[in-house]
Amino acid sequence: MFVLSAIAGCRQEPPAVKSLDYARELPPGQLALRKIPPEMYPNFDVMQTDRTALLRSIDQSLVYLDAPTSQRFFPYLDITHARAVATLRALRELASSPTPDWNGEIRRRFDVYQSVGAPQGDELVSPAPAPGYSGQVLFTGYFTPIYAASLTRTGPYQWPLYKRPGDLVSDETGEAVYRRAAGGPSGPTSVGSTAIAPVAANRYWTRAEIEQGGKLRGQELVWLSSRWEAYVVTVQGSARLKLTDGHTLEIGFHGTNGHAYVSPGRQMLADGVITRDQLSLKGLGQYFAANPEKMDRYLSLNPRTTFFTERPGGPFGKLNVPVTAFATVATDKDVYPRAMPAFLVTSLPTGTGSRPFGGFMLDQDAGGAIRSAGRADIYMGVGPVAEQSAGRQLYPGKLFYLAVR
């Protein structure tokens, strides 16, 4: 997912973005949510999520929770797997009402939990759900691009996206990634066995080694006409590709090389090659269009890359269910609960600025750049309009979760 970390979508950066360390990870074993008393509840009556989209997203979370493998991620605090399912059913019932009493019903039927957010900064934020934390979360956006592509390397189509390599082995989370030694058995069961290459060499290839060193030559899935667009797809994790024969190919996530995400934009800003006003998806794209020779230096700073497969019916999130525009949120799955309903209080970009937003989204996705309680990513849809919105989404706010009593 395309998280540029500290992108300023408009000319004035929100003050809270400067003063809080949203990227700081929680101590090992600590979770992001705290149950809060009613006096700290937000105003649920401002609920703005499109209810058709919300119901669709709730149903996708229920599909995920119906899979036996989902039970391994519960309980989360005092939320059991059965309680998570009951929560979604209760919220679906409430959202299906012609005139839902959001505040009244939530106070009567649900417990509310709040994210601790980023650590407390110089300026105290009150009230906060936990000592030492601000309760403030930075909301960015991601999207599914639509780009031109070819199944063969021809003409302008010179920039590949790769299939999942045969020698890539990952654990059940998909995050611990290894390179299998030559002749070793296939599949995740080989993790930790003698089939894995020696420790000094078992990390998987970096983006630069793959793209510039030709490590995966012959394993290309599809070719794009723009190196920048190919990079964006590897960070977003999905795409709809318009092929040269007129067909559309939907591709989706099929693993990563296991390296941590690094933001090229931060280094470009530090080097003075772009201004803060250019630190956006559109601004970086314009810079590289004018300076293509700089891509080797800056795009290679991000060692993480994604592998793809054909996946019609998506895009799909971390939970392997389709995500829904403005009804799916992505968080760090080590500290937030999977599939649960979240209530966001933040701002969204408009054509000329921003507008306040309060509404429900389902926690159905994760991203390589999101590794803290202080960060969340809103899925904004497919195509150029969604791309513009995601590139400008950078607003602080608060993040709440529900669990039926």
Give the residue extent of every domain in the chain: 15-143+320-404, 151-310
Burial of 301 (0-12, 13-18, 19+ CB in 10 A): middle
Answer yes or no: are the C-beta atoms of 138 and 156 closer than 8 Å: no
Closest CA to 307 of 197, 390, 171, 210: 210
**Residue 404's beta-bridge partner residues?**
110
**Distance (Å, whole) CA 268 – CA 403:** 43
Predicted structure pTM score: 0.82
pLDDT surpasses 60 at 401:
yes
Confidence (pLDDT) at 391: 83
What pLDDT band is residue 237 in, cutting at 50, 70 and 90? confident
* Mean pLDDT to the nearest integer, 205-234: 93
151-310 belongs to which CATH class?
mainly beta
Give 127-169 pLDDT, tens digit per residue: 778 889 999 999 999 999 999 999 999 999 999 999 999 889 8
Q: What is the maximum alpha-carbon separation in the chain?
A: 63
Q: Which helix (H) or strand (E) holds 90?
A: helix 81-95
Fold of 15-143+320-404: Barwin-like endoglucanases (2.40.40)
Q: What is the mean pLDDT of residues 345-350?
A: 95
Cα angle 326, 405, 112 (rounded to 5 degrees) comes to 45
Mean pLDDT of 96-115: 97
Q: Which residue has the higher pLDDT, 196 or 379?
A: 379
- Residue 11 identity: R
- Output the DSSP codes for 359-387: EEEEEEE--TT--STTEEEEEEEESHHHH
Residue 127, preceding bond cis, omega within 30 degrees? yes
Residue 5 has pLDDT above 60, yes or no: no
Q: Average pLDDT of 315-323?
A: 91
Mean pLDDT along residues 245-260: 91
Q: How confident is the model at residue 223 (pLDDT cuts 50, 70, 90)?
A: very high
pLDDT number for residue 96:
97
CB 132 within 8 A of CB 120: yes
